[in-house]
Amino acid sequence: MNDSLLEIPGYSVHGRLGKGGMAEVYLATQESLHRQVAIKVLQRLDDEAFAKRFVKEAHLVASLHHPSIITIHDIGQLADGRYYIAMEFVAGGDLAQHRGERFEPQRALDIVRQIAAALVVVHDKGMVHRDIKPANILFREDGTAVLSDFGIAKELELDSELTQYNVAVGSPAYSSPEQAQCQPLDARSDIYSLGVILLEMLTGTNPFRGSSYTQTVMNHVQQETPRLHGALERYQFLLDRMLAKDPDERFADCRVLLASLAELNEGELDNTRLTP
């Protein structure tokens, strides 16, 4: 679509930021408040049920209030009937841009802590994000991690999509074993995905990523949790709990995960000499 053809009352559209299978995202200025926003425009006009879900989930996400959850400002319709969502524009890029990098452990844990705190709010609303992956973890200019893309522009029926080869809900490289096997999901599935991200930040690699969709899925189902070495060994217990194949062996919820992160942080402070 030509950017010049996109007209949204109350907004000045500057250009397209990205495009997916279900939606396009544009950078714009909300004229009434003179603030930059990202506008996600639904591309489908032929599926009324999908459009209703798009609107319903937008309302749900707008009800989630947390510093590490993307803020939704507005929802409306274009002249041609397509729905759009105006949300906070996050200028610091996303975690996917750092693929292959090894993070300092404290920075990696801080990102996990912020996203886990956001997920507490999500899960308390009875929602499961389903697509925790680096591209959906954004950064504000001050380095704050922000969770985005709550499946607003995605099909969420696991049974229908996972049976279509290469069209799976979520991202296979970060999917929990139960998600890969079309089983019921709860908060612990998001914890597993966040564990894969922690592993990738600490080591610079995602060992579950296979050469094909099928191999990646099988790796999540069968491959043991990788062993950390050297100074990273102290974080092994976190990964063992987050990446347990059986959801019952993972942290029960993100509050328990946050408590373990707090204990770990306190233990490390006890062993660190602090200077003014």
d(CA 184, CA 182): 7
d(CA 188, CA 185): 8
Identify residue 242 by its one-letter amino acid code.
M
Q: How far is CA 178 from the centre of its chain?
A: 18
Question: Comparing C-alpha atoms, which of 221, 180, 173 is closest to residue 200?
Answer: 173
d(CA 72, CA 233): 40
Residues involved in catalysis: 131
Consecutive H or E run containing 75: strand 72-77
Beta strands in 134-218 (DSSP E): 137-139, 145-147
d(CA 264, CA 270): 10
- CA separation, residue 86 to residues 57, 152, 180 (Å): 14, 12, 32
Question: Comparing C-alpha atoms, which of 108, 109, 153, 111 is closest to residue 131?
Answer: 153
